[in-house]
A and B are shown apart, each in its own frame.
Chain A
């Protein structure tokens, strides 16, 4: 079946512009996660959605970052007034929410801020 889909795969934009990154999770998965990964580094947690519960936004680095998940499915991560330090790969993952269920990752969006 279809896996987690992220778009765009690459995004180059100028400093100060807003960007939107999209994630289509696996159908039926109740949990959705966003992570940020700099080159050769680990995963930095950004935000977590579980069903209809309020999202865990504890990882968002500043108020320039926001995310929403519409209808319990597709999610959009928005970065306003981008800065060069926002350059990274943004990974989305979904799972069916059970403690023993692994996360299924998309291929990521490589964001470059000029």
Chain B
């Protein structure tokens, strides 16, 4: 079973509007971390935001926030006030604490976001 599912291969958003990128995950571990990364067309991978499984509040970093719903095993990325420079591929990733997988990250297939002027 896929551990990270990103169901939106491509998304469009109008400049200055908010957009939500979906991510669901599968784990039986109680302790895990969830990450979002951005990959522009230039290719570099940029860390955006982190949410720990025990964090009670949703993580926020500037225009990025994470809508964490633990019971539903979802960790959606919300980008507010979209900018043209937000056009990129976005990856959701999970790292579990279990010894057999400890440290190793699992990535979703990504969502390509296009911001329209």
Determine whether the beta carbon of A99 is less than 8 Å from that of B108. no
| Chain B residues in 8 Å Cβ range of A93 | 45
Q: Is B106 an interface residue (CB 8 A)?
A: yes
B33, B35, B102, B105: the one contacting A33 at CB < 8 Å is B105
| Chain A residues in 8 Å Cβ range of B97 | 99
A33, A42, A50, A100: the one contacting B91 at CB < 8 Å is A42
Count how many chain A residues have C-beta atoms less than 8 Å from C-beta atoms of the other chain.
23
Give the contacts of B14-40 with A (CB-CB under 8 A).
31-33, 35, 37
| Chain B residues in 8 Å Cβ range of A65 | none
CA distance A56 to B107 in the complex (A): 16
Determine whether the beta carbon of A99 is less than 8 Å from that of B31. yes
B32, B37, B91: the one contacting A99 at CB < 8 Å is B32
Q: Write out, one digit per residue, whether chain A residues 38-55 have a CB within 8 A of any chain B CB (1) or not (0).
A: 001111010010100000
**Which residue of A has the minimal Cβ distance to B6?**
A42
CA distance A31 to B101 in the complex (A): 13
Mostly, the A contact residues are strand
Determine whether the beta carbon of B91 is less than 8 Å from that of A102. no
Q: Is A108 an interface residue (CB 8 A)?
A: yes
Determine whether the beta carbon of B104 is less than 8 Å from that of A102. no
Determine whether the beta carbon of A107 is less than 8 Å from that of B109. no
Q: How far is the CB of B26 from chain A (nearest CB, A)?
A: 16
**Chain A to chain B contacts (Cβ below 8 Å), 26 pairs:** A33-B105, A35-B107, A40-B89, A40-B112, A41-B109, A42-B107, A45-B104, A45-B106, A48-B103, A50-B103, A89-B43, A91-B45, A97-B103, A99-B31, A99-B32, A99-B33, A99-B95, A100-B50, A102-B35, A102-B37, A102-B47, A102-B50, A103-B37, A103-B47, A104-B47, A108-B43
Rank and list the top 7 A-B pairs by shortest CB-CB distance, nearest first. A105-B45, A102-B47, A42-B109, A43-B107, A99-B33, A48-B104, A42-B110
Residues of chain B at the chain A interface (Cβ within 8 Å) = 31-33, 35, 37, 43-45, 47, 50, 52, 89, 91, 93, 95, 97, 102-110, 112
